[in-house]
Structure 1
Amino acid sequence: MVEDRPSSVAAIFLDRIESTPDAEAYRFPVLGGRPGGDAGTEGRESGAEPWESLTWAQAGQRVKHVAAGLMDLGVRPEERVAISCSTRVEWILADFGILCAGAATTTIYPSTNAEESAYILADSGSRILVAEDAAQLAKVRGLREQLPDLTHVVVVDGTGVPDDDSGWVLSLAELERRGATYLEAHPTCVADSVAALRPDQLATLIYTSGTTGRPKGVRLVHDTWSYMARGIEATELINAQDVQYLWLPLAHVFGKVLLAAQVGLGHVTAVDGRQDRIAANLPLVRPTFMCAVPRVFEKVYNGMAAKAREGGPTKYKIFKWAAGVAREYARVTQENQRRTGTPSAPFRLARKHALADRLVYSKLRAAFGGNLRACCSGSAALSPEIGYFFSGAGIHILEGYGLTESSAASFVNPAVYRTGTVGKPLPGTEVRLAEDGEVLLRGPGIMEGYHGQPEMTEEVLDPDGWLHTGDIGELSEDGFLTITDRKKDLIKTSNGKYVAPTEVEGQLKAICPFVSNVVVHGAGRNFCSALIALDEPSITTWAEENGLGHLSYSEIVAAPQVRELLEGYVARLNEGLQRWQTIKKFAVLPRDLDLEHGEVTPSQKVKRAVVERNYAHLLEEMYAGTREA
């Protein structure tokens, strides 16, 4: 299946339309009579929102109209069409329309500022921009003279968009109407375009999140997505009967690969990128499968702990007991599964687990919709302690691993998974470890290179096709990979000891439900310190319960009672660490890390260098008066 694959995911898309035309493809909220608009009266009164569906045939018709419309605007094979839009069904239709036209998609996060958006558009040479709304249009309208290659902007939601007599701006509906007319005159144009696609033809330019420096355009050809579709299908983790809830940013490779997987399998995908609607949507959608980044699972865990505390000491004690049982149960059953092939647990543990399930776990599963078979976590490391909790509670989190440069899904845990690992390589992907432990990957999912940057390509992609990931890992005898840290993030203290900061950070997040983000620091220092940002809802609830409810968030995090609270958790953390790993000092940040200050990427990866620069004064205070080597 992996070896004998179609030349493009566009071909797989057309095959899907032909094989299951009447099956449901996409499900999406329609607010105020249109996807993504303002809620109508019915939605406000009922507290729910109306959803609509597209069959594969209906989605296919719209995609063909988009493709033909782009051809009518003069777009040619491998020319770039950019999308700057949140996760919604129109993003998907536009993307497949671009691919079916033979063009290549340039992805831009809607949160990207005007300057960087213009850089990506110019660097990619994008001919057309699909912009979500007036706000996205405004980013480029004033920079039109700086973007001579940009011939048109297609706006998805035209609310508030100024009239444009020049023809530079048109609506998505207008593009589709043009496409329908073009198809009448050239009825085979889309089929001919897809048939002409070569596996080595550019399909997508995804710009890296840029934890350091300017983002680089990663060139992914059609064969990478075709391979991903067939490779994920071969794992048998997802099937045609699944209902997926998709909220991840589609500008990110993690979200993008899920589109390829879906057309290969043909399952239903419910699409809504509004993160503040996740909790409300899950019981409505009742997904069997969903993907998320670790921060979502951390927030769910912290939220459960906070709610239990609100219920009083007894309820909180029950929650902490149940969380401990879940972790123990998950560890024991996974270990027995590995040794004997059966996920068994001793009688007494099984009885405790059954009681905890009635009291706590069943409510957690209901919050996820009650049908969830598995979750996939990626983009960053998930703390094993968080993973074991969810596993023991019956929410099976299968960690995966990949980079933008490897089309996202290089590794994924099988159905018989191991918490703390990222699983086994996708069929057709090769892996080996360099002498220093760096993970090297080779296979059809690897990028062609960085757009217009051959020197940077040579730094990570060797002549034999091995991608140097920059991640340090360990391989078990039976092929499970564990990522221990980023090569560039490893800390070497002035005493010559190496520390993997993400490991320490993950352990603190697991034991302290108030931590949102933490950055461990210590390179060239004689001990490790930490910058700790607190989760606002959780710490605010704690403050109300401890006589500090009259304080603002910034006042709460500065309160001596909060520092004393954290000192207890840091002490617990240090008990399980080697001496050189321990956190000797820490500082509580006045706010959480955010995108606005450049401290996290749109996929919530922490930019360590930016955080350390923004809070250099706090770091220096912690090391003031200490003797540095």
Structure 2
Amino acid sequence: MEIKRLFDLIPFQITKYDKEVTLAKKENATWKTYSSRDVKEIVDNLSLAFINSGIGAGDKVAIISDNCPEWNFVDFALQQIGAVSVPMYPTITSDDYEYIFNHAEVKTIFVGNEEILKKASKVSRDRKIFSFQRLKGAEFWEDFLATGVNGDLEKLESAKENVTELDLFTIIYTSGTTGRPKGVMLKHSNVVSNVLNIEKIMTPEPGTSRALSFLPLCHIYERASSFAFYYIGYSVYYAESMETIADNLKEIKPQVFNTVPRLLEKIYDKIVAKGYELSGIKKNLFFWALNLGHKYDPAADMGRWYDWQLKMANKIIFSKWREALGGEVMQINSGASALQPRLARVFWAAGIRVCEGYGLTETSPVVSASICTKEEMRIGSVGKIIEDVEVKIAEDGEILVKGPNVMMGYYKEPELTAEAIKDGWFHTGDIGELDGRYLKITDRKKEMFKTSGGKYIAPQVMENKFKESSLIEQLMVVGENKKFPSAIIVPSFDGLRDYCKHKGIPYTEDAEMIQKAEILSKYQREIDGLNKYFGKWEQIKKFTLLPRSWGVESGELTPTMKLKRKVIKAKFENELEELYKL
């Protein structure tokens, strides 16, 4: 059958796969599963409950929850009646909730837990709130579901027939690094086009493979992927929490999952830290394998001697890495920010295929994706432009995108829409290069700056390189209109503890350690070692260490972990002044 609207995926999956496990979540220490037919029954009854409650075509309903099958049920149920979902990050503030509720004209709210309920209740006014848990102050979603059981299915079919592929199905408020979030309007055909093209680049077996999901469904990256997993017939298991991912990987043994580079960086840093704890021949073998991996290029002929060594390294060292990920992973999709090339090299060397992609909420989201084969993998690129999508590079280097995946526009923002989409081309704000169909991202257009000497600095490229250090957790390059670039650094305190333990330096408090002369000297050596990869005008001349990490709730990061540069500059104005004192 033809997929035109996203909810067509439900009957499609029943017809093609009729799966015993479509969705699953951990409940009371056991996995609660839902089959293809369970999903259809629940979604249909939930659609009827919405109709009975007065929610109809065009009405907006907010979903604020961690990942769970109930999230999908509400999403599909709203689609079937032409209502519009407004997914939101659980981690944003009550002020942001209030802005989005009012701007999107939200009528009803679904929340995942008590903490979210408290934040939403403060600003919900008279809006009805439902919860995926039994909580005081909200109606339990299953009680609401029951009001649709044995409902008028003809009424539902009529509602579904009135929904076309050109209809708005969601408004996703992008977090934005400055100002209020913008509501990206996506229609069914935007995401359907992406789903059909994502399917062509997935390597795990259709119908029988398992996916572990832990990135937030409110972000288009994981949400579009979940639709693609429906289409391909993967069973989706939701991780219990970010803290249980390691255990869930071993338990589920997934063939595929999506991630962000920061998580891969943390996995790598933990592996390396364990390597430092080894001694004698075991330690020597570990770092021999690691250094071998850093040289790997999957698309190149590395030579017989290298291949033999890598085979040995995989038997002795890298096999343990694969076991830690469940032992059956065939494809890891990395997105949302730049992946360090050295991580891509070492994971591929270890038989762990990390495939980087690129996209935005406004492009539903995938623009390009790495093909998970040795022949087509290109380290340092974000993969090939997917089918049906056009990309061109503007004169100033900006990446422009055209295709069926490009958004309808920004909700209630015609001027911003006209600024973003010109002559059918969406202006991404990213700077990049094209090598045939392969795309490479070099920086954000708005984040590049000039020194007082007139030299351009691309901060993202530098930040990504400096974060290769196991001692650096977060870093922001500054220096606009200054003589030289400097850096504000949040240390990796785990990495710093490991270093101090290795060197026999007594560790006290984080804030105290970063003021010690021997620690500052170590960070200077780290900076000096990485500066060599950049031109003289780009090299970090000064830096300051901060005692606490940047976060979403503290305001320095967006929910997708991007730096809010203006906020950071304002918060650490005194530290910045010190860097440029004569």
- Where does 1:332-481 land on structure 2 (aligned, <5 Å)? 333-334=298-299, 336=300, 344-415=301-372, 416-462=376-422, 464-476=423-435, 478-481=436-439
SS of the equivalent of 2:433 reads: strand
Q: Deviations over 1:279-320 (max 9, x none)?
A: 111111111111101100110111111111222476554433
Structure 2 residue 444 is the aligned partner of structure 1 residue 486: yes
**Of the candidates 257, 260, 277, which is equivalent to residue 293 of structure 1?**
260
What is the aligned partner in structure 1 of residue 130 from structure 2?
A: 154
Partner Cα distance (2:163, 2:10) in 1: 13
SS of the equivalent of 1:142 reads: helix
What is the aligned partner in structure 1 of residue 143 from structure 2?
A: 174
Relative distance call for 1:287 and 1:213 in structure 2 (3 A) is same
What is the aligned partner in structure 1 of residue 52 from structure 2?
A: 72
Tell me if the contact between 2:364 and 2:407 (Cα under 8 Å) persists in the aligned partners: yes
Paired letter, 2:223: K
Partner Cα distance (1:524, 1:72) in 2: 61
- Where does 1:515-594 land on structure 2 (aligned, <5 Å)? 515-594=472-551
Post-superposition shift, 1:538?
Answer: 2.2
What is the aligned partner in structure 2 of residue 44 from structure 1?
A: none
Q: Deviations over 1:551-593 (max 9, x none)?
A: 1222233332222222121111112211111111111111111
Relative distance call for 1:236 and 1:395 in structure 2 (3 A) is closer
Partner Cα distance (1:620, 1:144) in 2: 42
Tell me if the contact between 1:131 and 1:156 (Cα under 8 Å) persists in the aligned partners: yes
Partner Cα distance (1:589, 1:315) in 2: 35
SS of the equivalent of 1:118 reads: helix
Paired letter, 2:555: G
Partner Cα distance (2:407, 2:536) in 1: 41
Partner Cα distance (1:133, 1:506) in 2: 35
Paired letter, 1:174: D
Partner Cα distance (1:589, 1:313) in 2: 36
Q: Deviations over 1:467-526 (max 9, x none)?
A: 0000000000x310000000011121111111211111111222x112111111121111
Partner Cα distance (2:328, 2:124) in 1: 48
Post-superposition shift, 1:122?
Answer: 1.0
SS of the equivalent of 2:153 reads: coil
Structure 2 residue 494 is the aligned partner of structure 1 residue 497: no
Paired letter, 2:362: E
Relative distance call for 1:143 and 1:577 in structure 2 (3 A) is closer
Paired letter, 2:171: L
Partner Cα distance (2:502, 2:202) in 1: 47
Partner Cα distance (2:144, 2:194) in 1: 30
Partner Cα distance (2:505, 2:50) in 1: 58
Structure 2 residue 55 is the aligned partner of structure 1 residue 95: no
% same residue: 29
Post-superposition shift, 1:59?
Answer: 1.6
Post-superposition shift, 1:54?
Answer: 1.1
Q: Deviations over 1:48-106 (max 9, x none)?
A: x3212111111221111221111111111121111010112211222112212221110
TM-score w.r.t. length of structure 1: 0.89
Post-superposition shift, 1:6?
Answer: 2.9
Bigger shift: residues 88-97 or 465-474: 88-97
Partner Cα distance (1:18, 1:355) in 2: 46
- Where does 1:126-137 land on structure 2 (aligned, <5 Å)? 126-137=106-117
- How many residues are treated as equivalent by the alignment? 578
Paired letter, 2:103: D
Tell me if the contact between 1:9 and 1:222 (Cα under 8 Å) persists in the aligned partners: yes
Structure 2 residue 51 is the aligned partner of structure 1 residue 82: no
What is the aligned partner in structure 2 of residue 29 from structure 1?
A: 26
Partner Cα distance (1:223, 1:76) in 2: 20
Tell me if the contact between 2:256 and 2:330 (Cα under 8 Å) persists in the aligned partners: yes
What is the aligned partner in structure 1 of residue 162 from structure 2?
A: 196
Partner Cα distance (1:515, 1:355) in 2: 31
**Of the candidates 220, 232, 235, which is equivalent to residue 198 of structure 2?**
232
- Where does 1:226-265 land on structure 2 (aligned, <5 Å)? 226-238=192-204, 239-265=206-232
Relative distance call for 1:185 and 1:55 in structure 2 (3 A) is closer
- Where does 1:256-335 land on structure 2 (aligned, <5 Å)? 256-272=223-239, 274-312=241-279, 315-328=282-295, 330-331=296-297, 333-334=298-299
Partner Cα distance (1:602, 1:96) in 2: 24
Tell me if the contact between 1:461 and 1:468 (Cα under 8 Å) persists in the aligned partners: yes
TM-score w.r.t. length of structure 2: 0.96
Partner Cα distance (1:220, 1:278) in 2: 30
Relative distance call for 1:320 and 1:503 in structure 2 (3 A) is farther
Paired letter, 1:101: I
SS of the equivalent of 2:514 reads: helix
Tell me if the contact between 2:194 and 2:364 (Cα under 8 Å) persists in the aligned partners: yes
**Of the candidates 67, 75, 98, which is equivalent to residue 118 of structure 1?**
98
Paired letter, 1:89: P
Tell me if the contact between 1:7 and 1:197 (Cα under 8 Å) persists in the aligned partners: no
